[in-house]
Amino acid sequence: MRRKFTIILVALAAIIFSYSFDNTTNTERYTQTYHAQLNEFVKSLQDLHSYIQSANLSNPKDIEQVQQRIQAARFNMKGMDFWIRYMEPLAYKKVNSPLPVEWETEVFEKFEKPYKREGAGLTLASLYLEEENPYKDSLAALVNAAIEACKTYAADSITKDLTSYHHFYLCNRLHILNLAAIYTTGFECPDTAQIIPELRSMMQTVANTYTAFNASFPQQKLSDEYLSLYNGALAFVKAQPQDYSSFDHFTFIKDYVNPLYLLNQQLINQHKVVSRSMVDYALNKNEITIFNKGLYTGQNSKGVFLRVKDEAILAEIDRLGKLLFYDPILSGNNMRSCASCHNPTAYFTDTISATSYQLDHAGYLPRNTPTIINAQYNHLSMLDGKHFTLQHQAKGVMTSPVEMGGNEKEIVEKVLSCEEYKTAFEKLLQYTPQEPQLSIEHIASAITYYYSKFSKYYSLFDDAINNNQPISAQAKQGFNLFMSKSQCATCHFVPQFNGVKPPYIGSEFEVLGTPADTAYKALSADKGRYDINPAKETMNAFRTGTMRNAAYTKPYMHNGVFKTLEQVIDFYDGGGGAGRGLVVDNQTLSSDSLKLTRVDKSNLIAFINTLNEKVVFEQAPARLPQSKIKALNNRKIGGEY
């Protein structure tokens, strides 16, 4: 009996050993693919660094050789991009940052002061080499930083994830999002002639990575349907012209990238993929299309009512929010409401003047009133990013001495003086145990919940991508220009066409050199982000707004200096403020002309018009709640100015 039991144990051990060996061997194929590509990348960086040490940077031939080695390293980097951009984004900034310094306030850090991130790597090396009299040591330092960053990607803390399939599908999700938003636009590629060659090389390498992954994880492998579609995407890219301005971005995204996103999301759920990375903080794993308003979460529109799920209760919050939005009781003089500046019939903005009246009705506010439609898809609010929640922004406006001039305590008291408000809010307090007494938080939350529902609508362009609805050839060409020659998409990212790029965890700010007037006599005096976070890089920087509904939200720029889309396009085409002779040392927009033709500009506007959303607006409330304070009962719906 003992001998029989021993034989069974030996046999069982053999089976376990065999399974473990086979599983380890298969896993190693995927792991070895990763390490082989990383080693190849490091080798190309070391070769570049070594050549720089011996090069004469005053010799054009040596500079050409350095550029060739930079490009060779870039191709190897693209082979690793699938992993390194996701697995350690901070180290990636040392490998291929587009800017020497970035100030970041990501969604999970936005309650803290912005972090200074110093960049290095191949893009900056290439750009630095184009400067007059580049220093060898400075150039070498940019490359050496990339070499040092690669040690992070060889560390156990990173490579241990390779033994599990979870990271793979999350890396792949970011890869697909960047196929739509980053890789074809030149955002991180200073030589536009290399954008499509790099894309082809990267996609081919990723296809090889897919093969290695499927061999290592047969139980969680990519489906045949996914691989077939990806191979179709690769074939499409290989058949496209090498000029990125001639590349069919529209068809690429509609027929390949967006459907790939759907299939990958299905696999994420099928294989019960678990994330341990903050990179995935904002993304919705249940969303199946890139062009859906549920793709990522930017803001909590419910505020203190976050726990409320009951549709009837939410409808009541919406009703109260609407009344409050139109009620001047929130202002210090009881004459001004949210609707005074955010006119609902004008896409919730002010299209009458460059900037709205101040509270005193004498002067004007320093900034244009931005639309609040789609405001919830920014991680920071206001053009300078001053506010980190919609509710914080609403309170800021209500209590601003030049905007609504209210006082928190007085606002609450006046609202409570209206029995209709008082009764309704008292019933809602059970849903806000963290705020057991009526406060300005409840008022702000009702308002933000009300107006955020107008951000749920879609445009003709969304329907074209998601539902194959027809779109004009002119608009398609305009989108392809938007993604390439006109360089719009390097700041206005798919799908919200705002400053939030994959993985959608932070809002970007740009320095454009916006003039004080259309004659370009002076730069706008508004310091923008600098007033919130003083730094050389943030002077005159403003948060990148959305292009959605742009046809209806004039005037444009932070100071409303431009009245038409044509003027805005001419501004960018001319190289911003610096391109017009203004001194803007930190301008992030290229000062070179885009050389857009009249047809180009017409096509761009045709595309921008397809971003107009089919918003269903509402009539203003017929009445406002009566107050016990008789003097308050003369207030007008929507305010007086």
Rounded CA separation 332/320 (Å)? 20
Average pLDDT of 282-291?
A: 96
Give residues with Cβ within 8 angstroms of 559, minimum separation 6: 354, 355, 366, 367, 368, 514, 516, 524, 526
- Please tell me the distance from the alpha carbon of residue 443 to that of residue 243, in angstroms, as a whole number: 53
pLDDT of 9 higher than 80: no
Residues 492 and 541 in one domain: yes
Which residue matches tokens 């990723």? 206
Shared domain check, 240 and 366: no
Q: Give how far the C-alpha of residue 203 lies from the chain's centroid of Cα atoms, to the nearest Å.
A: 23
- Co-location of 99 and 192 in the same domain: no
Based on the domain organization, do 383 and 313 belong to the same domain? yes
Domain count, the chain: 4
Residues 344 and 433 in one domain: yes
Percent of the chain with pLDDT over 70: 96
pLDDT at 307 over 90: yes
The domain boundary residue, chosen from 290, 318, 352: 290
Paired tokens of 393: 């922004």
Backbone angles phi, psi at 541, to 5 degrees: -90, 140
594 within a domain of the structure (yes/no): yes
CA 545, CA 626: separation in Å to the nearest integer? Answer: 38
- At residue 473's C-alpha, the angle toward residues 470 and 478, to 5°, is 110
pLDDT at position 126 is 97
Please report whether residue 210 resides in a domain: yes
Band of the pLDDT at 7, cuts 50, 70, 90?
A: very low
Backbone angles phi, psi at 639, to 5 degrees: 85, 175
Last residue of a domain, one of 290, 320, 344: 290
Residues 469 and 486 in one domain: yes
485-534 confidence digits (pLDDT tens): 999 999 999 999 999 999 999 999 999 999 999 999 999 999 999 999 99
Do 495 and 558 fall into the same domain? yes
Question: C-alpha distances in angstroms, 460 versus 257, 353, 527, 532, 612?
Answer: 19, 29, 36, 37, 7
d(CA 580, CA 103): 27
What is the domain extent for residue 499? 460-609
Q: Give the pLDDT score at 105.
A: 81
24 pLDDT higher than 50: no
Residue 7 in domain: no
Instruction: Map tokens 């927009």 to a residue.
Output: 589
Phi, psi (deg, nearest 5) at residue 429: -60, -25
Instruction: Give the type of residue at 47.
Output: D
The reply to whether 170 and 148 lie within a common domain is: no
Last residue of a domain, one of 290, 319, 352: 290
Q: Which residue has the tokens 């009962």?
A: 633
Q: Which tens digit of pLDDT belongs to each residue from 71-121?
A: 999 999 999 999 999 999 999 999 999 999 999 888 888 888 899 999 999
Residue 495 lies in a domain: yes
Pair 548, 441 in one domain: no
| Per-residue 3-state assignment (H helix, E strand, C coil) for 546-590 | CCCCHHHCCCECCCCCECCHHHHHHHHHCCHHHHCCCCCCCCCCC
Q: What is the pLDDT of residues 530-582, one digit of tens each?
A: 999 999 999 999 999 999 999 999 999 999 999 999 999 999 999 999 999 99
What is the per-residue pLDDT for 20?
Answer: 33
> Do 581 and 601 share a domain, yes or no?
yes
Task: Say if residue 267 is exposed, middle or buried (CB neighbours under 10 Å; 0-12, 13-18, 19+).
Answer: buried
Q: Residue 116, Cβ neighbours under 10 Å: how many?
A: 12
User: Is residue 317 a part of any domain in this protein?
Assistant: yes
Query: Does residue 587 contact residue 515 with C-beta atoms inside 8 Å?
Result: no
285 and 315 together in one domain:
no
Which pLDDT score, from 0 to 100, does residue 21 have?
Answer: 30
Residue 532, classed as helix, strand or coil, is: coil
Tell me: do 342 and 426 sit in the same domain: yes
Q: What is the pLDDT of residue 373?
A: 98
Is 48 within a domain? yes
pTM here is: 0.93
Q: How many CB atoms lie within 10 A of CB 163?
A: 15
Residue 581 lies in a domain: yes
Reported confidence tier of residue 26, pLDDT bands at 50, 70, 90: low
Mean pLDDT for all residues in the chain: 94
pLDDT at 424 over 70: yes
CATH classification at residue 596: 1.10.760.10
Q: Is residue 31 part of a domain?
A: no
